[in-house]
Amino acid sequence: MYKEKKILGIITARGGSKGIPRKNIKDLAGKPLIAYTIEAAKASKHLTRCIVSTDDQEIADIAKQFGADIPFMRPAELAQDQSTSIDVVQDVLQKLKQEHSEEYDYLMILQPTSPLRTSADIDACIQKIVGTDADSVMGVLELVDFSLKKLKKIEDDLILPLVEDEGSQSARRQDLSKIYKRNCAIYLTKTDLIMQGDIFGQISRPYIMSAESSVDINEPIDFQVAEVFLKNLKNK
């Protein structure tokens, strides 16, 4: 709890990963991937409770070895390729209310694919959303040396601008506006908006994260990148 606000964390970890089979429990530098998110959540000072939502018994068993809270398993119908995070967390909120008489002011989605997100990141987002009364706070990463004007399309073997006002010269890096993207590490939203099917709301604020804390594992090479960052962190 933070300033009388109850914050629920949900680690979403279904078993049916297609790109990297069994991704959520695949080894990363000596620990299953999901362990990093569990440990960060457990170290948070401000999360009221954090649970793992999974449909997979092996994931559940491994998660419990690292101290995860799993009050119930995820229904199979919410663990399909077309299932959305909003459907999953709505189900969790409803069950906690109906079966455990628990209600929360804010909900944070923590995906296991962001293993370098820290407890400090988690707590900073909570402080920001409560302190500013934002509808949501999202982890974001600055895209270095990126501009819409630098995006191209190819037609008939010709390089053409994606946006029409590119001009005749390449944009200088120092002239570009900073551009950010959501890094998938943290989604924090008021629960009343979540129950309305809205993860962003009208006022969505950024929490800017470093390249290393923004590592998002979707491809096999991402495990190698994460291991390099982890090794560097250990050597500091």
Domain CATH for 216: 3.90.550.10
Please give the order of strands across the beta sheet that includes 49-53: 49-53, 7-12, 106-110, 179-190, 136-143, 204-208
Of 49, 130, 63, the residue nearest 96 (C-alpha)? 49
Question: In total, how many domains does the chain have?
Answer: 1
Number of Cβ within a 10 Å radius of residue 14: 20
Q: What angle do CA 99, 102, 105 make, to 5 degrees?
A: 145
In-domain check, residue 135? yes
Residue 171 — very low, low, confident or very high, per pLDDT cuts 50/70/90? low
pTM of this prediction exceeds 0.95: no
Residue 20 — very low, low, confident or very high, per pLDDT cuts 50/70/90? confident
In-domain check, residue 178? no
Beta strands in the chain (DSSP E): 7-12, 27-28, 31-32, 49-53, 106-110, 136-143, 152-155, 158-161, 179-190, 204-208
Compute the average pLDDT of residues 1-28: 92
Residue 219, pLDDT > 60, answer yes
Compute the average pLDDT of residues 203-222: 95
In-domain check, residue 196? yes
Compute the average pLDDT of residues 148-162: 86
CA distance 30 to 96: 33
pLDDT tens, position by position, 56-106:
999 999 999 999 999 999 999 998 888 899 999 999 999 999 999 999 999
In-domain check, residue 223? yes
Continuous segment of H or E residues that includes residue 148: none
The encoded tokens of residue 34 equal 């999901």
Note down the domain range covering 80: 7-139+183-235
In-domain check, residue 152? no
Residue 178 — very low, low, confident or very high, per pLDDT cuts 50/70/90? confident
